Structure 1
Amino acid sequence: MTPEQRHSGARDAIVYNWPQYAAGLATAVAAGVVARQLPRPVSDFARIGSAAALTLLGTATAAGWYVYDRSDLYTYDWLAALLPRTPSSYLVVSCGLDEVSASLAARWPAARQSAVDLYDPTLTDEGSIRRARRRVPPPAHAVAGRPGALRLASAGTDAVLLVFAAHELRRARDREELFAECARVLRPGGTLIVTEHLRDAANTAAFGPGAWHFLPRAEWLRLAAHAGLHQAAERRLARLVTAFAFTKE
């Protein structure tokens, strides 16, 4: 999927997460209205709260626009630094929303692609995922899987890609099972690519409390080590996204 074929990433984020945006806007408006009825200095605090809510909405939207619409994130050119050799076979793992498979099929036309969708309402209860899934259905060749069962042969693929997927598994045990499965299906010398926002200072400044939906860098390193994978590379994308390469030795 080329940038021209994609929907606007910032617009998609608003559509998928519209209840949070509506709540933030309602909070800002309510605080501004109530401030007129309150004595000072209480009214000043209400106005500050209203301004803070509007600022957070603005920074989150601007950050999404920069990352998803203006950066080279979805060109996947950055993969060359993490996967020096084009894989002959690879697996895309999604968790309800797959915006990766079509782009990589165009980028690596000679490679064999597999796709596994981990979406399960009991594991991924985010309303945003349900809305995104209705708008962007899984690719026709995707098969349903579980964190502990990717339904691929052992040691049969050169690369596994988890792009904005693994953080949707909120239980540490599910993430550990997924990373163990990724290690199982990789050939010796194969690479797991994990691309995520991190729960760090930059993402907190951009997304406010929403950054707590992300996981810290230490968790991704822990999961890889727990699965017996070794960190080979790390790259910062669009200042707010981090891509890791973990290898199976």
Structure 2
Amino acid sequence: MERALRKTFQGVLNIIRFNWHFYVLAFVLIACLFTITVLFPNQFNWIGYLLIIGIILATTLSLVASYYIYDLSNLYSLNWLDDLEIKSGSHLLNINAGLDETSYLLKQKYAACSLTPMDFYNSAKHTEISIERARKAYTPYPGTSLIETTDIGLSLKSIDCTFVILAAHEIRDKQEQVVFFKQIKQALKDDGKIVVVEHSRDIYNFLVYNFGCFHFFSPRRWKEVFRNSGLALIQTKKITPFINVYYLT
């Protein structure tokens, strides 16, 4: 099954498309501040202009960073997986949280393997409007199963490698995260692997996404979750300064 190549600017345009309400809010704030400074000129107008400049710079920086991460970097080339040993005929599992941009890519990269895609999106738990918009815009990968984070429904020792790419942070509760990864562990074969890709709650993401970075979790949090799930972290890599890849077994 072939996947259409990612389009130019697809990543950053999706950011705008699925989070347009934030950009409308920024525009409204800028318009209001500018109107106030024009209609009511006084010695404090510089504060209004400073806020306008700050909003424009913060919005522009987040979009530039998103373009770099999702369009210019090697995130979707998957060449950062080249060192991962995947044997022909392996059974791969790819779990997403409502938007699957990687199953086609994984199947393309590992054509000789079987791929099971799963989606744990739950509208009652995952209330972000951006995910709901993304689900309406993209059809699921063929054969995708809807699952619960507390019941992924896989047989014991049936999976060679599981991928959880930019999805696990949508599970907000720590104990639920532990239960989720324990189930993945149980489904892994004895020599199975897990690859988790996540933004980090760190200074780099704060500088470009401001308070939006608090939607992510720190590396320390993930390492604690992995440890409590009975998993061993064997390696951590970076895809740009903003994204970590955790290799587990």
Answer whether contact 1:3 1:75 (CA < 8 A) is retained. Answer: no
In the alignment, structure 1 residue 190 sits paired with structure 2 residue 192: yes
2:56 to 47, 54, 69: 54
In the alignment, structure 1 residue 40 sits paired with structure 2 residue 43: yes
Structure 1 partner of 2:131: 129
User: Structure 1 residues 224 and 2, CA, compared in 2 at 3 Å: closer, same or farther?
Assistant: farther
1:238 to 219, 237, 240: 240
In the alignment, structure 1 residue 75 sits paired with structure 2 residue 81: no
Query: Which structure 2 residue ranges, 5 or more long, are not aligned?
Result: none
Q: What amino acid maps onto 2:223 in structure 1?
A: L
The CA RMSD over aligned residues, in Å, is: 1.5
Answer whether contact 1:2 1:103 (CA < 8 A) is retained. Answer: no
Deviations 1:59-103 (A, max 9, x none): 01000101111111100000123x233471110001100111000
1:1-249 matched pairs, under 5 angstroms? 1=3, 3-4=5-6, 8-36=10-38, 37-41=40-44, 43-81=45-83, 83-86=84-87, 88-247=90-249
Q: CA deviation at 1:56?
A: 0.9
Mapped to 1, the partners of 2:202 and 2:27 lie a distance apart of: 25
SS at match of 2:177: helix
Mapped to 1, the partners of 2:178 and 2:52 lie a distance apart of: 41
Q: What amino acid maps onto 1:127 in structure 2?
A: I
Mapped to 2, the partners of 1:86 and 1:40 lie a distance apart of: 70
The runs of 4+ residues in structure 1 deviating greater than 6 Å are none
So what's the TM-score if we normalise by structure 2?
Answer: 0.93
Q: CA deviation at 1:5?
A: 5.2
Query: Which structure 1 residue ranges, 5 or more long, are not aligned?
Result: none
Answer whether contact 1:3 1:74 (CA < 8 A) is retained. Answer: no
Mapped to 1, the partners of 2:41 and 2:198 lie a distance apart of: 43
User: Structure 1 residues 86 and 47, CA, compared in 2 at 3 Å: closer, same or farther?
Assistant: farther
